[in-house]
Amino acid sequence: MKCSLPIIAVLLTAHAAVAEDVNVRYRLTGLFQPDRVDDLRRQAGTLTTRDGGAAARVTLVDVDYETAVVTFAYDAGSKPFQGQNPQQVRDRINGLLRNASRGSFGVHPPGTLNPDQLRRERLAVAGLDCKGCAYGAYRAIATIEGVERAVVSFKEGHVTAWIDPAKTDREALATALRKAHVDVTDPETAQGTPATHR
């Protein structure tokens, strides 16, 4: 019985040395208005994943509204994450986040362009009179390939997207909004003339 306490102390020390939180950064979708940062913190401040009887926590470390980049920390040595490659880790965190937020937030690989290489497109819209309508407009354009970030202001009546100009353009944004039954009042897209706004 004498040696049981030192053995327990050694085991606890060894476990503490193995446990190591790893930070991962992703592009976040669902962050279409500033107050969504609070929604994210409330819904996904700490997430828990399980593998059999073993559990691991995923903790929200930081969210940058201006770039739509989120940082999570997870214990890479925990059973749920052991042996998983970066895509599997992202898929697991995305699943936890989508479940906790009822599908309104998601994580994706970081964009390949620097922020100064993206083109900002702002389109005037009408008929968005609530947060739900704004989210609908956001979802219409956020899923377009080449859209790195988007925000919606129903109070000011515009949708803004930062895009990879090699993958999408202003007219694709307007078309997606119209398909989602958003009234695009922007004169440049109504005439079909391309425009670049920085």
Number of H-type helices and E-type strands within the chain:
6, 9
**Listed residue (17, 111, 100) closest to 60, CA to CA:** 100
Instruction: Pick the more confident residue, 127 or 5.
Output: 127
Q: Distance between CA 157 and CA 137 in Å, rounded?
A: 11
pLDDT at 34 over 60: yes
Contact 158, 123 (CB under 8 A): yes
What are the pLDDT digits (tens) for 91-121?
999 999 999 999 999 999 988 888 889 999 9
- pLDDT-derived band of residue 141, with 50, 70 and 90 as boundaries? very high
pTM of the model: 0.79
> What percent of the chain shows pLDDT beyond 70?
85
- Of 3-12, 50-59, 94-103, the one with minimum mean pLDDT is 3-12
Sequence spans of domains, the chain = 4-108, 115-190
Average pLDDT, the chain: 85
The pLDDT of residue 193: 38
The structure tokens listed for 147 are: 């859209």
Q: For residues 49-59, give the mean pLDDT.
A: 90
Domain 115-190 classified CATH 3.30.70.100?
A: yes
Contact 100, 138 (CB under 8 A): no
pLDDT at 10 over 70: no
- pLDDT-derived band of residue 162, with 50, 70 and 90 as boundaries? very high
